[in-house]
Amino acid sequence: MANPEQLARLRGLYAVTPERADGGALLADVEAALAGGCRVVQLRDKLSPMAERLARARALRAATLRHGALLLINDDLALCRLVDADGVHLGRDDGDLAQARRLLGPEKILGASCYADLARAQAAEQAGADYVAFGAAFPSPTKPEAANATVDLFFRAKTALTVKVCAIGGITAANAPTLLAAGVDLLAVITDLFSAPDIAARAAAYQRLFEEAQS
């Protein structure tokens, strides 16, 4: 379990990077999201060779530190260690969560994909996850084959779990309020954020939704 100060930062828009052939363009897009107020970023890069992934992770580490934001790495504990990222996000094919917690130590953030499976989320919580992600909340252009996590599942998750709850998949600034009404802590977004005509403005719109949900 990460420390309370880190955990308190697990709220708001969670920008998950799109696959971009050009690392410079990716960095510029993430910088725009950070300028708009996004404070949690995940590097999700399944296509670049290792050297390029490392360069991207280093650049994102510098950018997130400059903006006081968290950087999490998808799938890859070794890359997390190499760039001293704030933690990792792991799915069902990415190894055992309890072992990941042991390898990461107590301070780093551990996130777990739980699809539409509340029992899996309860096991992830027991294994030391700091947040659990359910998806797809809505049909996802990035992952059209994803299971469907209903709004009711998010309500149940908030009652059954003490860890933070993240929604992912097909989220837009227009459908996000439904998830925020269920008490979701993090909204993980690719397309609606990084395909926006003004990424900073879109990030700011999400952050406003969180502020409104809190008041």
Ligand X SMILES: Cc1nc(C(=O)O)sc1CCOP(=O)(O)O
Ligand Y SMILES: Cc1ncc(COP(=O)(O)OP(=O)(O)O)c(N)n1
Q: Which residues are annotated as a binding site?
A: 42-46, 74-75, 94, 113, 140-143, 170, 190-191
Q: Should residue 164 be labelled a site residue for ligand Y when binding is judged by CB under 6 A?
A: no
CA–CA dist 186, 165 (Å, integer): 6
Question: Which tokens is 36 given?
Answer: 């708009």
Find tokens 């994803």 and name the residue: 146
Q: Looking at 2-10, 75-83, 96-104, 162-170, which segment touches ligand X (CB under 6 A)?
A: 162-170
Q: Should residue 146 be labelled a site residue for ligand X when binding is judged by CB under 6 A?
A: yes
**Of these, 6, 81, 94, 122, which contacts ligand Y (CB under 6 A)?**
94
Please report, in range form, the residues annotated as the binding site for Mg(2+).
75, 94
CA–CA dist 32, 197 (Å, integer): 11
Reference 111, options 64, 34, 167; nearest CA is 167
| Least distance CB 191 / ligand X (angstroms) | 3
- Is there a contact between 39 and 63 (Cβ–Cβ < 8 Å)? no
**Of these, 29, 56, 140, 176, which contacts ligand X (CB under 6 A)?**
140
Which does residue 142 bind out of ligand X, ligand Y, none, counting CB within 5 to 8 angstroms by kind?
Answer: ligand X
**Of these, 34, 168, 180, 205, which contacts ligand X (CB under 6 A)?**
168
Binding-site ranges for ligand X (CB under 6 A):
113, 115, 135-136, 140-143, 146, 168-171, 189-191
Site residues for ligand Y per CB under 6 A: 14, 16, 42, 44, 74-75, 89, 91, 94, 111, 113, 133, 135, 166, 168, 188
